[in-house]
Amino acid sequence: MREFELIRQFFQHEQADLLLEEKAQASVVLGIGDDCALLRVPANKQLAISVDTLVADVHFPADAKPDDIAERALRTNLSDLAAMGAEPLWFTLALTLPKNSPYVSEEWLRGFSRGLFRTANQYEIVLVGGDTTSGPLSITIQAMGAVEPHAALRRDGANIGDFICVTNYLGDGAAALAVIQDVLQLGEAHGHYLRERFYRPTPRLVEANLLGSVASAALDISDGLVADLNHICEASDLGAVIDVENLPLSPALLSLNDLHQARTWALSGGDDYELCFTVSPEKMPELAMLIAQEKINATIIGEIVSGSGVRCELDGEAYELDSAGYQHF
Ligand code: ADP
Ligand code: MG
């Protein structure tokens, strides 16, 4: 298959089916097919841009289903937009495929493109360009979104006494990887739940939108809670204490009957794509209201303190971590 035929067939043609025509027409002056895309940034908004690369057998198993790979790639990028409080607008896709491999087959590309556009439609983000090359399988997505000036959820806004909160459950990402790698066996339902969490993490866009006027700092957890919370600490020049007892664990994780393992995954496993955010005591009633109204599922897990670094405590005593998050090098 030739490069241009591949682009037209799987990435340009699909665009015609998009439910997003209205959004695309409003903001995309020129999409796929020229040297650059021409985009109209919404008036009086700031552009939020993030790029992430997923490498086969590092970020996903190379033999995973192509639509699963595509969904995960786009969803993890959408998670970065959510973490900033940005509304998704556009993305570009740089796809590297090994020559003469199963990945350049009609079947694989059809599946990949199906998963990609299913997610793009769901979250209303428009593919506006990309690059196609040969080499080891990898997927780079650059996501772009819009955010009101001064409304972005940055890492440097935490203050002493702020509560530290997380959305949904922690530790599922690491447990899911263990299930996918066949080193952990759980029942059918829990196994399915975790696999879904791995390939289809939910970018917390709705929550981020609600937290815009509530949170003082935020990020998404991709490398593990402790490692990522430490980024908030460094950017805000403060420290944090996590109450290990309060870590929210899913029924799947609890079914392990190994609380220590579950907590270790929650603290230092990667791939959760939940939001970690801080809230001042004055803003806590607003968050409590959002939680009570079930508009947002969040748990208080700790507090911002003076000093530096992240400390974990259980029953008032220091809780030692087994490992501190995923690091590439
Ligand atoms: P150039 O050589 O000028 O960089 P390319 O030949 O790489 O352009 O790409 C041609 C057009 O197809 C461009 O508009 C580019 O954005 C788009 N494109 C290339 N690969 C992809 C892809 N994987 N997904 C979406 N658009 C792509
Ligand atoms: Mg090119």
Kindly give the distance from the C-alpha atom of residue 3 to the centroid of ligand 2, in angstroms, as a whole number: 10
Ligand 1, pocket-test mutation among 132, 141, 142, most atoms within 8 A of CB:
132
pTM: 0.93
Q: DSSP assignment of 122-171, as one string?
A: HHT-EEEEEEEEESS-EEEEEEEEEE-TT----SS---TTPEEEEES-SS
Reply yes or no on whether the pLDDT at 241 is more than 90: yes
Cα–Cα dist 258/91, whole Å: 40
Supply the DSSP string of 200-224, one letter for each residue. Answer: S----HHHHHHHTTTEEEEEE-SS-
Q: What percent of the chain has pLDDT over 90?
A: 84
Long-range contacts of range 33-37, CB-CB < 8 Å, 24 or more positions apart?
A: 36/129, 37/90, 37/92, 37/128, 37/129
Residue indicated by tokens 């959510």: 82
Residue 281 banded pLDDT, cuts 50, 70, 90: very high
Who lines ligand 1 at CB under 6 A? 7, 11, 32-35, 93, 95, 127, 129-132
* Residue pointed to by tokens 């209303």: 124
Q: Are 47 and 41 in contact (CB under 8 A)?
A: yes
Give residue-wise pLDDT tens across range 81-109. 999 999 999 999 999 999 999 999 999 99
Q: Which long-range contacts (CB under 8 A, 24 or more apart) does 97-103 make?
A: 97/132, 97/133, 97/134, 97/135, 97/137, 98/134, 98/135, 98/136, 98/137, 99/134, 101/137, 103/66, 103/137
Q: Which atom of ligand 1 is nearest to the CA of 36?
A: 14
- Residue 170 CA to residue 247 CA, distance in Å, equals 7
What are the structure tokens assigned to 251, written together? 């029924």
Average pLDDT of the chain, as a whole number: 93
* CA 131 – ligand 2 centroid, Å: 5
- By alpha-carbon position, which residue is closest to atom 8 of ligand 1? 35
Ligand 2 ion: residues within 5 Å (CB): 131
Q: Look at residue 13 and tell me whether its pLDDT is greater than 80.
A: no
Write the residue with the smallest CA distance to atom 12 of ligand 1. 33
Helix (H, G, I), strand (E, B) or coil at 273: coil
Top mutation candidate among 5, 7, 10 for ligand 1, by most atoms within 8 Å of CB: 7
Whether residue 325 is predicted with pLDDT greater than 70 in this model: the reply is: no
- Kindly indicate the confidence band of residue 1, based on its pLDDT and cuts at 50, 70 and 90: confident
pLDDT at residue 23, as a whole number? 67
Ligand 1 atom nearest the C-alpha of 33 is 14
For residue 304, the model assigns a pLDDT of 98
Mutate to test the pocket of ligand 1, among 112, 131, 141 (most ligand atoms within 8 A of CB): 131
How far is Cα of residue 113 from the mean position of the Cα atoms in its chain?
20
What's the rounded mean pLDDT across residues 257-284? 96
Q: DSSP H helical segments within the chain, as ranges? A: 3-7, 21-27, 66-84, 106-123, 172-180, 188-199, 205-211, 225-236, 251-254, 259-268, 284-292
Considering only residues 270 and 169, tell me which one the structure prediction assigns the higher pLDDT. Answer: 169
Query: Residues with Cβ < 8 Å from 237, sequence gap 6 or more?
Result: 308
Amino acid symbol at 123: Y
* Residue 238 reports pLDDT greater than 90: yes
Q: So what's the pLDDT on residue 323?
A: 61
CA dist 52 and 64 (Å) reads 19
